[in-house]
Chains A and B, each alone.
Chain A
Amino acid sequence: MTPIFNSTSWMMRQVIYALALGVMAAYYFFGWGVLLQIVLGVVTAIAVESAFLALRGRDVISSISDGSVVLTAILLAISIPSIAPWWVIVVGVSFAIIFGKQLYGGLGNNPFNPAMLGYVFLLISYPLQMSTWQIDFLSLSQALDVVFDLSNIDVISGATKLDEVKNGLSLAGSIQQLDLHSPSQAWINAGFLLGGLYLLFRKVIFWQIPAAFLAGIVISSILLSVSNTDLYLPTQNHLMLGGTMLGAFFIATDPVSASTTPKGRIIYGFLIGVLIVIIRTFGGYPDGIAFAVLLMNMTVPLIDSFTQPKVFGR
């Protein structure tokens, strides 16, 4: 007899496997920096979590082996620029684990998505390091040089397309004059989309959150671009730029901090999608996924209590 799931760690591993395609796409375009950040993040996460579990007198091995902390580290590592200095990911992951998770009592008790909490902390504290993305593929030695600041090498770096929209729009005057073509982001998004579909297929995540998340983006971006096509980003760019697919399938679906009722998941996902478009369009930061997710994390208890499913016979 095989239960539907083997364990929580099995679920976490499935999510990590599902991330592989998107990570491979990112590696293809940006090179070794991507993997370096992941390694740094995972090592830091395991060290910090172990230390804290030991301090709290918990069983270190069994908690580490559930894989949740590795997943948090990977999610944060692929969200930050791959040329960010090594201490950025170390500080970010440490913050995510300590303030996002352990201080609330560890796995299952955190009201916020730890990876996004770490991301926002970094974004606010180190805006420069967090907004410089490279353009080229980096070899391992190049990546080591950049990340550990070993020698002065030149990396062609720049802003992301979403940044360009934010800054370039005032100069260009209309969206149509901007070059929004970005194969790297489109491929990475496609990779995460496929990984997400795999998770749906394995029933590790439920369809409501990603579907509502994407619907929220589609509907609100259509409404905006209909109102003024020159000013607002078209829907397909919203879907294929930034971390949209990663957010829809891997971040908003974090079970611990997301809504848990079927109806609640729809509301939760939809509002995240809408908030992302609003933040991208009117907010001060280029991509709004982290803020949107954290804002909606706060509303989860309220959503859950208002969307209890119908109980048999009531």
Chain B
Amino acid sequence: MADYSFNGGIVISNPYPVDKVEIIQAPLPKKVTIPLQQRIGERAKPCVSVGDYVLTGQVIASTKDSFGVFIHASVSGVVLSINEQVIPHKLGLKSQCITIESDGKDKWIDNSGCGIDFLHCSAQTMIDYIQKSGIVGLGGAGFPTHAKLGKIKQCHTLIINGTECEPGVMCDDALMQLHPREIIRGVEILLHICGAKRAIIAIEDDKQAAYQALLMFNHNDRISISQIPTKYTSGAEKLLIKALLGVEISSGGFAVDRGIACQNVATTKAVFDAVVDHKPLVSRIVTVTGSGVKPNNFEVRLGTSFKSLISMASPNQKAHDYRMGGMMMGVDVADIQAPICKITNAIFVNNHIHKPAIQECIRCGQCSEVCPVGLLPQQLYWHAKSENIEKAINYNLFDCIECACCDYVCPSHILLANYFSFAKALNKQQTREQDRINIARERFEFREYRLERNKLERVQMMADKKKALKEKMAKEQSQKQKIAKAMQRVQQAKDKKNDTNI
């Protein structure tokens, strides 16, 4: 059991419980749509063209960006198109995607003998290998794993996050119950890469089956498994570190700077698959839950559409409302033709957390009681609403992790976290605007200065020229005079001579 805790947070039990946690293998999709833009980093560049035949696991887009990851075909088949497609986004935005039509054979690239012997590889080789395997944080944040691993210096503790980010999501729980061996091996690989002395796998105490499963397969004395109290937001990296180690990562600081590496259990499993089985990231486990479906976990190929996955979870007639991610921090997805991405950990269908009409804030302070970061959401709301961003920043706006605990308890049903993300966006926009204004002003000022300088230079040049001309003329004049004088002298001499000759 972890000895520490953090303030705030809320206890919410799974609103859509299941009898038995399992993982259903989703059938191969007929078509996959794979976005080239991952959450951060540059967009990967396609290295196949329309009409090409690709094998499962084949690289179809690569990148040289240090935050970018490689992208692989998740089925074998023919590349149908490379164009803009709908992605999971609350506004139904489009992004560049590669669409592959499956041939239904699921032929893999030849991976025999390709698994690398990680014990005899340098950490950098491993990190490059992980980038080429397309692995990102599968907890929902999608931060590229190689980039995180590459930043760690003098790592002493590796934390494996098995806390399940949000109530209702079960994909990590299922993975720990059903693949404990792979996870433990994955932890060993990560331990090797980051050079940490110990690893702690953190599990919430309501996931006893997962805890027991991991305990049974763990024979490594550098790996310990720790249970933490079930409380929402304990999956947040900094709060998890506080709960496990009592270490408070400073605001704006990173865990890696304190020698702590944090990885999700699903990411750990993906690392195992890549290193040992030489399988790049082509599928993930997605929880489909909510009152509109029969809740379950599915192992699904990346690029499968939301629609076809939802149809596997026996949706009822009234299924109409879709949300990607958890019920607290997820985003509503407008178009369910959108594909499952690496960050799609869960889909909520008809999630009934939607609240009744919004009332005025009465500053009851329930929000600040549950804020895990210790903010005063009621004050922040006041300033965010009046777009007084400077004041909001004074109230530590940028420390808000947007966990929406405040939304959950607000008796006036105000969507506080929305206001805070709005305020942050507004601030970014204002900063950009200010930067632009500053640049424009600098440019203008420089132009003015340049024009003035040119004018002065011209005047100076003219003056110089004039002076030179004058000098030249004076010189010429004096020369002329000299010549004239000389001529005169010659003339006089001549005249004298003539006179004497006469």
CB distance from A52 to the nearest CB of B (A): 15
Q: Is the CB of B374 within 8 A of A312?
A: yes
List chain B residues, Cβ under 8 A from A107. Answer: 359-360, 362
CB distance from A268 to the nearest CB of B (A): 12
Chain A window 44-70, contacts with chain B (Cβ cutoff 8 Å), 1 for yes, 0 for no: 000000000000000000100010100
CA gap between A258 and B372 in the complex, in Å: 23
Q: Is the CB of B376 within 8 A of A314?
A: no
Q: Is the CB of B412 within 8 A of A311?
A: no
CA gap between A66 and B376 in the complex, in Å: 23
CA gap between A3 and B412 in the complex, in Å: 12
Chain A window 235-259, contacts with chain B (Cβ cutoff 8 Å), 1 for yes, 0 for no: 0000000000000000000011010
Q: Is the CB of B238 within 8 A of A106?
A: no
List chain A residues, Cβ under 8 A from B378. Answer: 260
Q: Is the CB of B376 within 8 A of A260?
A: yes
If A308-B376, A311-B375 touch, whether A5 touches B411 (CB-CB below 8 Å) is yes
Q: Is the CB of B248 within 8 A of A312?
A: yes
Chain B window 387-402, contacts with chain A (Cβ cutoff 8 Å), 1 for yes, 0 for no: 0000000011001000
Q: Is the CB of B372 within 8 A of A312?
A: yes
Q: Is the CB of B251 within 8 A of A255?
A: no
List chain B residues, Cβ under 8 A from A256. Answer: 362-363
CB distance from B412 to the nearest CB of A (A): 5
If A10-B411, A107-B360, A261-B376 touch, whether A312 touches B6 (CB-CB below 8 Å) is yes
- For the complex, count residues of A whose C-beta is within 8 A of B: 32
Q: Is the CB of B238 within 8 A of A62?
A: no
Chain A window 86-113, contacts with chain B (Cβ cutoff 8 Å), 1 for yes, 0 for no: 0000000000000000000011110000
List chain B residues, Cβ under 8 A from A108. Answer: 360-363
CA gap between A313 and B368 in the complex, in Å: 16
A206 at the binding interface (Cβ < 8 Å): yes
List chain B residues, Cβ under 8 A from A206. Answer: 365, 369
A8 at the binding interface (Cβ < 8 Å): yes
The residue from A7, A62, A311 contacting B251, defined by CB atoms under 8 A apart: A311
The residue from A10, A11, A261 contacting B368, defined by CB atoms under 8 A apart: A261
CA gap between A187 and B412 in the complex, in Å: 35
List chain B residues, Cβ under 8 A from A3. Answer: 408-409
A127 at the binding interface (Cβ < 8 Å): no
The B contact surface, by secondary structure, is loop
CA gap between A99 and B357 in the complex, in Å: 27
The A contact surface, by secondary structure, is loop
Q: Is the CB of A5 within 8 A of B409?
A: yes
B146-203 contacts to A (CB < 8 Å): none
CB distance from A288 to the nearest CB of B (A): 25
List chain A residues, Cβ under 8 A from B408. Answer: 3-4
Report the nearest A residue to B367, measured CB to CB. A260
List chain B residues, Cβ under 8 A from A258. Answer: 363
CA gap between A107 and B396 in the complex, in Å: 26
The residue from B15, B357, B368 contacting A309, defined by CB atoms under 8 A apart: B368
Q: Is the CB of B15 within 8 A of A304?
A: no
B215 at the binding interface (Cβ < 8 Å): no
Report the nearest B residue to A254, measured CB to CB. B362
List chain A residues, Cβ under 8 A from B360. Answer: 8, 66, 106-109
Q: Is the CB of B412 within 8 A of A312?
A: no
List chain B residues, Cβ under 8 A from A66. Answer: 359-360
Q: Is the CB of B374 within 8 A of A311?
A: yes
Q: Is the CB of A1 within 8 A of B253?
A: no
A152 at the binding interface (Cβ < 8 Å): no
The residue from A7, A308, A310, A311 contacting B359, defined by CB atoms under 8 A apart: A7
CA gap between A62 and B409 in the complex, in Å: 20
Q: Is the CB of A309 within 8 A of B374?
A: yes
A227 at the binding interface (Cβ < 8 Å): no
The residue from B363, B372, B409 contacting A4, defined by CB atoms under 8 A apart: B409
A265-314 contacts to B (CB < 8 Å): 304, 308-314
CB distance from B22 to the nearest CB of A (A): 23
A6 at the binding interface (Cβ < 8 Å): yes
If A1-B12, A7-B356, A314-B251 touch, whether A68 touches B362 (CB-CB below 8 Å) is yes
List chain A residues, Cβ under 8 A from B374. Answer: 309-312
CB distance from B420 to the nearest CB of A (A): 14
Q: Is the CB of B411 within 8 A of A312?
A: no
CA gap between A296 and B484 in the complex, in Å: 105
List chain B residues, Cβ under 8 A from A6. Answer: 411
CA gap between A273 and B356 in the complex, in Å: 38
Report the nearest A residue to B242, measured CB to CB. A312
List chain A residues, Cβ under 8 A from B417. Answer: none
The residue from B242, B353, B356, B399 contacting A314, defined by CB atoms under 8 A apart: B399
CA gap between A113 and B339 in the complex, in Å: 54
Q: Is the CB of A260 within 8 A of B251?
A: no
List chain A residues, Cβ under 8 A from B352. Answer: 1
Q: Is the CB of B409 within 8 A of A314?
A: no
Q: Is the CB of B409 within 8 A of A311?
A: no
CA gap between A304 and B395 in the complex, in Å: 11
The residue from B15, B248, B250, B363 contacting A260, defined by CB atoms under 8 A apart: B363
B residues at A contact (CB < 8 Å): 6, 10, 12, 15, 238-239, 242, 248-253, 352-353, 356-357, 359-366, 368-369, 372-376, 378-379, 395-396, 399, 408-413
* Residue contacts A-B, CB under 8 angstroms, 15 given: A6-B411, A7-B411, A8-B362, A8-B411, A8-B412, A10-B411, A11-B411, A62-B357, A108-B362, A206-B365, A255-B362, A260-B363, A262-B368, A310-B374, A312-B239
The 9 closest A-B pairs by CB, nearest first: A313-B251, A108-B360, A5-B411, A255-B364, A312-B373, A1-B15, A107-B360, A8-B411, A313-B250
10 new A-B contacts, CB < 8 A, other than A62-B359, A312-B251, A312-B399, are A3-B408, A5-B366, A8-B362, A8-B412, A11-B411, A66-B359, A260-B363, A309-B375, A311-B251, A312-B242
